[in-house]
Structure 1
Amino acid sequence: MQITIIGGSKGTGSQLAAQARKAGHEVTVLSRSGNAPEGVHVVRGDATDPAAAGKAVVGADAVVVTVGGAKGVPNQRAAVTRAVIEAMKKEDVQRLMVQSSLGAGDSGSQMPAPLRIAMKVALAKPLADHNEQEAAVQSSGLDWTIVRPTGLTDKDPTGSWQALQTSEPGTLRGSIPRADLAACMLGLLEDAASIGKAVGVSS
């Protein structure tokens, strides 16, 4: 599979790029820094630039958006996601996965009870960005999957995780190593049953 990762120079995106490459996929990363794991094709540019986004997604079987917020730029995640969706439509690429956050959309009930109020207050702006991002994804007409991780850490991977839809019983734990999240995302990307679903993920 040819996978394009938007924001794959660090964090979860970098982990996903490295794991996908190791699994035998062809990987392209679009990032402003131009950094990427070894063996990965790099497109340097701003994902909100239609030319850069188009160049990155051309020929892709799947696109994954893992960008974070940008200082001084309101709703950066949503802006990037909308630009990527438009580029995908122009290049006739259907499969989209977006890294959102637990607490976005209807996922508040999946959060550990002590964190629910604190998260809503402390992360009000990022969650508003993610809500706008998710709305763009869900109305895109593409084959989408939304992944909502809990708090991300750089701890060693455990090789296991919980992945729950809001329609399923249970709550999620408070964190997950980025490497485990990347492994979960790669598995969901390869699973057609995840299309049209939003999944909360934690250790």
Structure 2
Amino acid sequence: MKITIIGGSKGTGAHVGAAALQAGDEVTVLSRSGDVPGVVRSIVGSATNSAAVGKAIAGADAVVVTVGGAKGVENQRATVTRTVIAAMKEAGVRRLIVQSSLGAGDSASQLPAPLNLITPIVLAKPLADHNEQEAAVEKSGLDWTIVRPSGLSDKPATGEVKALEADQDGKLGGSISRADLAAYMLAAVTDQSTFRKAIGVSSR
């Protein structure tokens, strides 16, 4: 499978790339730094540049968006995601996996107490960006999956992930390792049961 990662030079995206390569997939990464060792195809550019994004997703079977916010830039995640969606439609690529955050949309109730009370306040601006990002994804008409991790850590993978769909009752844990999140996102690429769903994830 050919997978393009938007924002894959570090963090979750780098973990997704490593896991995909280990699984035998062909990986393309679009990043500003181009510092993506081991990746089959690296494209240097801005994820808000339609030409760069179009080049990165050409021929892809799936696109994974793992971009974070940018200092001094409002709604960076949403802007990048809209650029990706437009490029995917033009290229005829349908499968989209987007990293959002637990607390976005209607998922605050899945956060453990007291995080479900303080997260919407402390992270108001990032969550507003994620809400706009998610709205664009849901309106895209693509075969999308939104993955909402709880707090991220750099701990080793455990191989155990708890997942709750948006309409499921229950509480998730307070964190998940980036390695476990990446493994979940990569598995979701081919899992049609996750299509057009927003799913919260944490460590068990």
1:9 corresponds in structure 2 to 9
The gaps in structure 1 that reach 5 residues or longer are none
Following the alignment from structure 1 to structure 2, what is the Cα–Cα distance between the partners of residues 39 and 13? 12
Following the alignment from structure 2 to structure 1, what is the Cα–Cα distance between the partners of residues 82 and 39? 28
Q: Percent identity?
A: 66
SS at match of 2:109: helix
1:97 corresponds in structure 2 to 97
Residue by residue over 1:113-172, the C-alpha shift from the partner in whole angstroms, topping out at 9 and shown as x without a partner, is 210121111100000000000000000010000000000000111111101112223110
2:156 corresponds in structure 1 to 156
2:178 corresponds in structure 1 to 178
Q: Which moved more, 1:159-168 or 1:97-106?
A: 159-168
Give the CA deviation at 1:39: 3.5
Residue by residue over 1:86-119, the C-alpha shift from the partner in whole angstroms, topping out at 9 and shown as x without a partner, is 0001101000010000000111111112101211
Are the counterparts in 1 of residues 28 and 39 from structure 2 also a CA contact under 8 Å? no
Give the CA deviation at 1:193: 1.2
2:110 corresponds in structure 1 to 110
2:120 corresponds in structure 1 to 120
Following the alignment from structure 1 to structure 2, what is the Cα–Cα distance between the partners of residues 148 and 161? 12
Which contiguous aligned blocks of 4+ residues in structure 1 show a shift greater than 4 angstroms?
none
Aligned residues: CA RMSD: 0.8
The gaps in structure 2 that reach 5 residues or longer are none
The TM-score normalised by the length of structure 1 is: 0.98
Following the alignment from structure 2 to structure 1, what is the Cα–Cα distance between the partners of residues 37 and 193? 29
2:25 corresponds in structure 1 to 25
SS at match of 2:147: strand
Following the alignment from structure 1 to structure 2, what is the Cα–Cα distance between the partners of residues 124 and 169? 23
Give the CA deviation at 1:43: 0.6
Are the counterparts in 1 of residues 29 and 39 from structure 2 also a CA contact under 8 Å? no
2:168 corresponds in structure 1 to 168
The TM-score normalised by the length of structure 2 is: 0.98
2:135 corresponds in structure 1 to 135
1:87 corresponds in structure 2 to 87
